[in-house]
Amino acid sequence: MGTFKAVVIEKGEGGQRVALKDFDEADMMDGDVTVRVTHSTLNYKDGLALTGKAPVVRRWPMIPGIDFAGVVEASSHPDWKPGDAVVLNGWGTGETHLGAYAEKSRVKGDWLVALPASLTPEQAMAIGTAGYTAMLAMLALERHGLTPQSGPALVTGAAGGVGSVAVSLLARAGWHVVASTGRAAEEAEYLRGLGAAEIIDRAELSAPGKPLGKERWAAAIDAVGATTLANALAMTRYGGAVAACGLAGGMDLPTSVAPFILRGVALYGIESVMAPLPLRREAWARLARDLDPAALSAMTTTVPLAEVIARGPEILAGRTRGRVVVTIA
């Protein structure tokens, strides 16, 4: 048995320490598939794990990283054989199971999805958990029966990872996208490039508002939570729907029942970590089919494994544009 390079979080007396290290293969966790990881990403939750700002990590030492793309090296699972290209999101990797910021990962074969044929591993991680979550949100809005003809679609946290993919997907599908951002001065051009039709300052949504406001959109994908989500609901048209997937602005939800009982608005919860396999496969197939590769490339920056540690505080501070791919091999 040898070692492999990994970002490792250890817990000591003075808090947690994070460093790029040689990790002993003998210390890998149980699983029926071993994957040579080639790419991972930086998601908001990875920022929380890397900085220790929220109790994401629940086992030490931990290799953070909640998603990867790679190639199967060894497998005793009937669905996977050496050489298969795979993608993994969630299931507790980087939280309770040793995660993705490593040259190797041993996981359950039941957690893996085949890399869609039209995507490179790097593109799959440019999408990453953030982009796959944006698609889960879009699927929820579509299942509600909403179409671009229903009215505009709001995206909050638009310049972030979930937001950038959501703007791009909705615009390409023909929606009139209203992008809410705290960085309008710097990112308006970027967001218009992704297809946003209108840019609004997030301050319009972050102050406490009325139980019902002017009906401004038929659909919304919200990565922010708190007052922003409450205002998104209050301004949703009769019969519309909001897909809530994030808490970048806070965990609370200071709303009233008014949007639900007076406008028939629906609120969908979006959860990516334990989402069942058929839904994952559907989301990845749709991403492979619908996401514009040029837009994906425009929203992506790439960093080597060692640099991801310094990027943790950046994403929590809301200073990351779009998506960050982590190159491992």
Measured from the CB atom, the residue of 27 and 201 that comes closer to ligand NDP is: 201
Q: How far is CA 66 from CA 8, 39, 94, 111, 213, in A?
A: 13, 12, 5, 12, 38
Tell me, residue by residue from 177 to 206, as one string, x for binding to ligand NDP by CB under 6 A and - for no binding: ----xxx------------------x---x
Nearest approach in angstroms of CB 238 to ligand NDP is: 26
Show contacts with ligand NDP in window 129-148 (CB under 6 A).
129-130, 133
* Residue range at the interface with ligand NDP (CB under 6 A); choices 20-28, 57-65, 125-133, 293-301: 125-133
Residue 287 in contact with ligand NDP, rule: CB under 6 A: no
State the Cα–Cα distance between residues 124 and 27, nearest whole angstrom: 28
Q: Is 65 in the site for ligand NDP (CB under 6 A)?
A: no
What amino acid occupies position 46?
D
β pairing state of 67-75 and 198-201: unpaired
43 makes contact with ligand NDP (CB under 6 A) = yes
- Smallest separation, CB 3 to ligand NDP (Å): 30
d(CA 112, CA 80): 9
How many C-beta atoms lie closer than 10 Å to residue 50's C-beta?
27
Tell me if 328 sits within 8 A of 40, measured CB to CB.
Answer: yes
User: Tell me, what DSSP letter sits at residue 93?
Assistant: B
Task: From 66, 41, 88, select the one nearest 320 (Cα to Cα).
Answer: 41
Task: Annotate each residue in 241-280 with x if it binds ligand NDP (CB under 6 A) or - if it does not, as one string.
Answer: ----xxxxx--------------------xxxx-------
Q: Which two tokens stand for residue 173?
A: 């599908």
> Site for ligand NDP (CB under 6 A): which residue of 52, 148, 239, 318?
318
Decide if residue 308 touches ligand NDP (CB under 6 A).
no
Residues 6 or more apart from 296 whose CB is under 8 A from it?
123, 126, 127, 131, 165, 168, 323
Q: Among candidates 117, 123, 103, 121, which has minimal Cα distance to 37? A: 103
Kindly tell me which of 33 and 244 has the beta carbon lying closer to ligand NDP: 244
Alpha-carbon distances of 49 from 16, 42, 58, 286, rounded to whole Å: 10, 11, 10, 29
Please pick, from the candidates 56, 162, 170, 177, the single residue that binds ligand NDP as defined by CB under 6 A.
Answer: 162
Q: Which is nearer to ligand NDP, 85 or 244 (CB)?
A: 244
Is 232 a binder of ligand NDP (CB under 6 A)?
A: no
Q: How far is the CB of 261 from ligand NDP (least distance, A)?
A: 26
Nearer to ligand NDP, 199 or 265 (CB): 199
Which parts of this chain interact with ligand NDP (CB under 6 A)?
Answer: 43-45, 129-130, 133, 157-163, 181-183, 202, 206, 223-224, 228, 245-249, 270-273, 315, 318, 320
